[in-house]
Amino acid sequence: MPQLVDFLVNPKGRISRKSYFLDFFLIYLVSVLGVHFLHESAGHPVTAALKSLVGLFWLWPILAISIRRFHDIGRSGWWAVGGYGVMIISSLYLAYQSHENLGAAASGLEQVQTQEQAAGELLQRFDMMLALGVMWMVLLIFAGLVFGFPGQKGENPYGPDPLNADIGDVADF
């Protein structure tokens, strides 16, 4: 159990692609999808709270393991912090803009005579949301490519090669 906790929360060192995808990403995906489907099938407020708690629980492990993945390819962990920071800020801004646009469109429907004019007002705000959405997708593609790169062979400034047979795999629980 201490190895699992260290694997999930320690941002120091390196992690191989195999450990990232098999030992972390599959566990993450199963837990998040399981809670999501539980919430969708039950629709109970308790499952909504559980879904939020699971999401909050995974914030630090996602960042810590992403930092170790960047370390494996010889990059600073600040790349992960910056990438996730931009994704979170742009997501919050998109949510805010969506809320504002829906409110403006609803109030605009009362003032505007035609449906075409209301659609035009909504599209005037859509360009910024589209730009942020494209930026978010580019960051996701970048992350997918970076996490797909093989790690540096041998030791680098962030630690020994996780594929070295003498060390063993950190994720072997």
Mean pLDDT in residue range 128-152:
77
The per-residue pLDDT for 165 is 47
Cα torsion 155, 21, 64, 58 to 10°: value is -170
Q: Please state the φ and ψ torsions of residue 35, each to the nearest 5 degrees.
A: -70, -35
Give residue 104's pLDDT band: very low, low, confident or very high (50, 70, 90): low
Cβ atoms within 10 Å of 128's Cβ, excluding its own: 13
Q: What angle do CA 149, 62, 92 make, to 5 degrees?
A: 110
> Are the beta carbons of 51 and 60 closer than 8 angstroms?
no
Query: Between 120 and 29, where is the model more confident?
Result: 29
- Return the half-sphere exposure (C-beta side, CA atoms, 13 A cut-off) of residue 108: 18
Mean pLDDT in residue range 37-65:
79
Give residue 2's pLDDT band: very low, low, confident or very high (50, 70, 90): confident
Paired residues of 159 in beta bridges: 156
